Structure 1
Amino acid sequence: MRYVTLLVSPTEGQGFHPVGERIARDPDVTGEAIHRMDDLGDGTVTLLTEMSGDVDRYRTIMADTPEVREFTVAAGEAGRGWGYSRVETNDLVEYMLERDRELELVRDMPIELTDRGDQRVTLIGTEAAFARAMQFPEPEGYEVTVEKTGEYHPESGRLLDALTSRQREVLEAAVAVGYYEAPREATHEDVAEAVGCSPATAGEHLQKVERAVFDALVE
């Protein structure tokens, strides 16, 4: 059994759907991940989405987007929120849903969202299924980059699977500079310098990393 992790990037705009594009363009809200997506077969899908930032601003975006049929938002800790929504599909989303039905591959959830509207998706299947997928034509509107591939081992790395790629990058940098040594040998500033972000952002990422790891350990 193999896996392929793809970065799927819109070539026009900043999202696959109007609501995603509005979130990607807004400086106060960041889409983090899609944890569940179900096709209702009536031109709509339901989504369970994780976001960070201004939860009230997220509510405003959802309320002001005509394609959103209904939604509700639950605010979490440290500026994190969870949104359930039922949204109308567009041509690109319908194409992707149809492709999923034909490809015989399993999508590993969650789908990671980037701050520019990309989606990082991991697909799992047999070599034969991936070979058939290579023959499936891609539509105009987005480009696909293969980031990594290999044998799928479900028993390994599950703690890291709970992290986004950016969170893993920050964690690796924190370990490398000695942030988790005892006594501690580095600060948020050192981690931030290593990954090219502000100390506040580095601290926020580390907080999310620690929460995700401890949540997985005590399940």
Structure 2
Amino acid sequence: LMDPKDLKGILNLAKEKGIIVLSDEIYDRYVYEGNFVSVLSDPDWRDYVIYVNGFSKTFSMTGWRLGYVIARREVIERMSVIALNTFSCTPGFIQRAGVVALKGPREVIEDRIREFKRRRDVIYNLLKSIPGVKVVKPRGAFYIFPNVKEILDRVKLTTEDLALNILKEVKVVTLPGTAFPDRGGEGYLRLSFATNVENIKEGIARIKEYVESILSST
């Protein structure tokens, strides 16, 4: 989660410099601690914000490819022209499903968020038990980004090598942090906990066993 002070600073800079802020808030409901602050909380958002959200995460409608944008009228008009000439429109029955989802009960969503928080706690505690791993508990979404630099230094592997070896040796998929444009991902792995607790326990147990085996040989 972004600190509200940091968000305010970005928004003030955008207004001062005439920069358009594109804010993808698809994970806005997946918040476990703290409060999520949207760019739309700024009363002047219409002047410089393009807000993007969708139904894939909150309503588990990933295959429906349904989303929406909030922006100034002229921005929406330009986007409508592009949409008309690329995909025409989202099928009507999918749009109707989106309306049903928006009007539906919130208890189901709240139960899902509580379950994801439980999964977050499980994977966080398990990762902490792996030698050479440092990890910060995520406050939102369903990914965790453990620091594996100590392991890499000891066994002389790159982040990509470690991720590939984990896949080959114990059949667990992790994403090297270097898969993202920011090179700050070097020395990190990204794991998703969008699965049941049993799978999480099994997957982390395999990673732990593999890490312990390669560290014992150094």
TM-score, length-normalised on structure 2? 0.28
The structure with more strand, counted as a fraction of residues? 1
More RCO (CA 8 Å, sep 6+):
1
The structure with more helix, counted as a fraction of residues? 2
Looking at CA atoms only, which structure, 1 or 2, has the larger radius of gyration?
A: 2
TM-score, length-normalised on structure 1? 0.28
